[in-house]
Amino acid sequence: FLLIHCCMPMKTTDWKAFMFLSLSLRSATSAFSSTTRTARTSLSTRSSSCHFFVRQSSIAPTTTSCTATTTATRSMSSQFWNREESSKQNFDKNKPIVKQAKIVSLSDANDPANDPLHKGDLPEGSSLLKIGSKMEDFDIPALQKEEPNVLFVSHPLSRQPLGELLGVLPTIEWVHMRSAGIDFVASEALSEANKRVFISNAKGSFSSTLAEYTMMACAYFAKDLPRLLKQKNNRNWEKYSVLELRGATLGIIGYGDIGRAAAKLATAYGMKVIALRRNPNRSSEDPYCSTVYGSMEMNKLFAESDYVLCSAPLTPETKGMITKEQFDAAKEDCCFINVGRGPIVDEDALIVALKSGKIKGAGLDVFSMEPLPESSELWDLDNVLLSPHNMDQTDTFMFEATEFFVGENLPRFLQGETLLNPVDAAAGY
């Protein structure tokens, strides 16, 4: 009706009728939206006001072209949280609680990033039993009587106590890592426990800032920031040509949440994106990349890319997978960026490639040994952008990761719903 009237000449009376109908429809739409908002926010929990936000990715020898997103792709991605794209508290808040959550926190009791759990109001039906960072902090017989079923992990030295706790607390059903990477807790005990225990992580809350760093690193070399800074220090007004990012190719090794966030920004810059991951079909219809390679085609990705981003997780499979072979295969003037994990790269081979000019430059936020030893040659190379593994370290990043646990996954656990961000401990991500 509206379309017909918009396309036909109208008399004054017609316009009055048109305006009346338009206002009526607008009122009805507003009422519907208001009702929808009210229904979606009537959660019967005692949680404090939180933002509930949540580093990782994946690396079979097939190549897949990317097209538009489909329902199947969205369904798979809905298992994982992303603070930019996921709807907050997207679950039925009126569903009844079907189980209690008895939580043990393997954490530093004085870590303020854990305040939403340690000091905040928890959803109804949940309770925090004990906080500790090592086995001596826990009264195991007393804990066993309380039958804890949730284990929250944030302490950086949690590998051994986590394995031991899983062995003496058979009632644990769910282990949640406050980080995205799980290499700091990986063990045979955790992989074995994963057969009966659900494991999740904070994937999705660290991706955007790492994507921003990736684009900054690309621009750092495209605009020759080292030269620019030297000229400023020398008060030297000398013009020089720069490169565009538009039209350049970004190759991404490990097209998980971080990789995809970088691809999204790179696409906005007008860059072509190609990716490499263990299961290419998972990104076969991703709108941000043109091609997805399997892990056996890494040399091809290096040969086609002006910039290569490594955003893969550290696993037994990915450790040391980027070597002299890949740098030798790299496109002329290729720049390498690593925000995944340092041990994924043969650092000595990278240094040789940087010194020889085989690689134009490198933006490195992670290293084989951290802190980076003062003796490392990387400190002295002018073509290296170096940061102390802090390019995801915002003032609130870990706080938000804890909020994700409290505000998103914990209510789902209480309702018996599927939890977000599942982790395969054996695969390492």
In the set 40, 51, 282, 389, the catalytic residue is 389
Euclidean distance between CA atoms 248 and 264, whole angstroms: 14
- 329 close to 101: Cβ distance less than 8 angstroms: no
Active site residue 147: no
Euclidean distance between CA atoms 52 and 45, whole angstroms: 14
CA–centroid distance for 353 within its chain: 29
Euclidean distance between CA atoms 354 and 411, whole angstroms: 49
Active site residue 370: yes
Cβ-Cβ contacts under 8 Å for 113 (sequence gap 6 or more): 154, 178, 398, 399, 401, 402
In the set 147, 244, 370, 377, the catalytic residue is 370
Euclidean distance between CA atoms 115 and 406, whole angstroms: 10
Q: In 3D, which of 216, 343, 321 has the Cα closest to residue 276? A: 321
Euclidean distance between CA atoms 240 and 237, whole angstroms: 10
Active site residue 297: no
Structure-token pair, residue 107: 């954490």
Give the β-pairing of 64-65 and 291-293.
Answer: antiparallel
For 49, 263, 280, 386, the CA distances from 256, given in Å and listed in that order, are 29, 10, 11, 23
Euclidean distance between CA atoms 305 and 41, whole angstroms: 46
The residue count for the chain = 429
Euclidean distance between CA atoms 202 and 53, whole angstroms: 8
- 123 close to 45: Cβ distance less than 8 angstroms: yes
Euclidean distance between CA atoms 106 and 87, whole angstroms: 29
Euclidean distance between CA atoms 232 and 244, whole angstroms: 22
Phi, psi of 308 (to 5 degrees): -120, 120
In the set 341, 400, 403, 408, the catalytic residue is 341
- 107 close to 152: Cβ distance less than 8 angstroms: yes
Euclidean distance between CA atoms 137 and 130, whole angstroms: 9
- Give the residue numbers marked as catalytic: 341, 370, 389
